[in-house]
Chains A and B, each alone.
Chain A
């Protein structure tokens, strides 16, 4: 492996790293918002909305991100809507992630027994207070492992962004290999940068998980 080559590639990877991270986190933000709303619609069986939410979840969970991105990137302009590749990536990731987050959050909400609600009501709490102080925090604790797994999954999924010509980590690596054939060095850097992005998420996720799970369920 040629260290010179590695050094010279680092700036391009750093740039790609920030782009990947930026789109990744925007996508995750969208995923959280969509996921929470969808989970509420399904859990509380809100008429009409819960049906739509159910259909949305099944469509986006069961199609690859690449296909979704193609639809948004090449399909929307046909309808006269122009979107940048970056927003396309964030929205695509957000919609895929939303369906996964919805299921994670819903499973947490569904796991809280009715008796918990009843005991809080019996103490004189209003329904909104019960939700805010009892159901939501408990459901969150139970959902943490699934949410962390989703975060890691979604950040890794950013690797298909290269297909809509976003200069993310994967695109940069392919580009460099195509130009200079330094396959070993480039792939080495690619792995390193993905690890730099994902290890902190994984480690922080583990810590959060431990903290909340310990309270609820034990070690």
Chain B
């Protein structure tokens, strides 16, 4: 990532409230092209909500999200255009159960971008091959394992050629032995310079993939920094406590 890489996404002081509950409190952030930003934090801290605000799956009460110089406006008819540029992968895969793997991949490019069927299928097959699932192209989602489904979900997002990819706890629903195959795909995407924002609980993976780490707690960014500083020299007590909760020795010492 070069120092003068252009900014793709700017988040300006966004605030999110569900009725009386403040979930996000004036969160600001900038993401440069090719950057991988990993967000961690205790459950319920607002990190998933933060991702969902970026492509307006959640509305925000204050602030704005700017993608490529354009403000994302939930009431705007251009919202679906903006969403094309923001790929998103969900914890629960959300493949379309009534469509084959291949159809899952080609549906949005064909209907939204009006790409020809042949062209869309060619690209889909290439991507399937890349994640080792070419033989599954005619299967239905229910015939795949969780890890396979999530790999399909990732390349389904890639089919739209997004400028930024949002990954929302994509391994949280997987059996441990399947986590690796999914994270390997993400690592390879990072290696080819994809811009990504990742919410995860896999700390080792986070450290390996991140250019920048962000710790959210209580709806605010509490600490951010390069992965080495973040994990080895946390500046705040709250982050230190949070990181400690992932190592078992510390539990032994405190009891």
Contact = CB atoms under 8 A, between A and B. Distances in A.
Contacts of B113: 124
Interface in A125-148: 125-126, 129, 133-134, 137-138, 141
Nearest to A127: B80
A217 B142 contact: yes
Contacts of B97: 138, 141, 215-216
B115 to A, nearest CB: 12
Interface string B65-90: 00000000000000011011011101
Interface stretch (B36-44, B104-112, B196-204, B240-248): B104-112
Contacts of B140: 215
Interface size class of B (residues with CB under 8 A): 20 to 34
Nearest to B55: A122
Nearest to B108: A123
Nearest to B140: A215
A214 to B, nearest CB: 8
A116 B94 contact: yes
A118 B94 contact: yes
A121 B57 contact: yes
Contact of A122 (B81, B88, B92): B88
A129 B111 contact: yes
B92 to A, nearest CB: 6
A138 B107 CA distance: 15
Interface residues of A, number: 22
B83 A122 contact: yes
Contacts of A47: none
Given A215-B140, A217-B142, A218-B142, A122 B98 contact: no
A33 to B, nearest CB: 23
Contacts of B83: 121-124
Contacts of A216: 97-98, 142
Interface in A186-217: 212, 215-217
Contacts of B205: none
Contacts of B87: 122
A124 B160 contact: yes
B231 to A, nearest CB: 30
Secondary structure at the A interface, as helix, strand, loop or mixed, is helix
Given A129-B111, A138-B98, A215-B97, A121 B142 contact: no
A212 B140 CA distance: 11
B96 A125 contact: no
Contacts of B157: 122-123
Contacts of A121: 57, 80, 83
B16 interface: no
Given A121-B80, A141-B98, A133 B57 contact: no
B151 interface: no
Contacts of A218: 142
A3 interface: no
A108 to B, nearest CB: 12
A183 interface: no
Interface of B: 55, 57, 80-81, 83-84, 86-88, 90, 92, 94, 96-98, 107-108, 111-113, 140, 142, 153, 156-157, 160
Interface of A: 115-116, 118-126, 129, 133-134, 137-138, 141, 212, 215-218
Given A122-B55, A125-B108, A141-B98, 16 more contacts: A115-B90, A116-B94, A118-B90, A120-B96, A123-B83, A123-B84, A123-B157, A124-B112, A124-B113, A133-B107, A137-B98, A138-B98, A212-B98, A215-B98, A215-B140, A217-B142
7 contacts: A119-B88, A123-B156, A124-B80, A124-B83, A138-B96, A215-B98, A216-B98
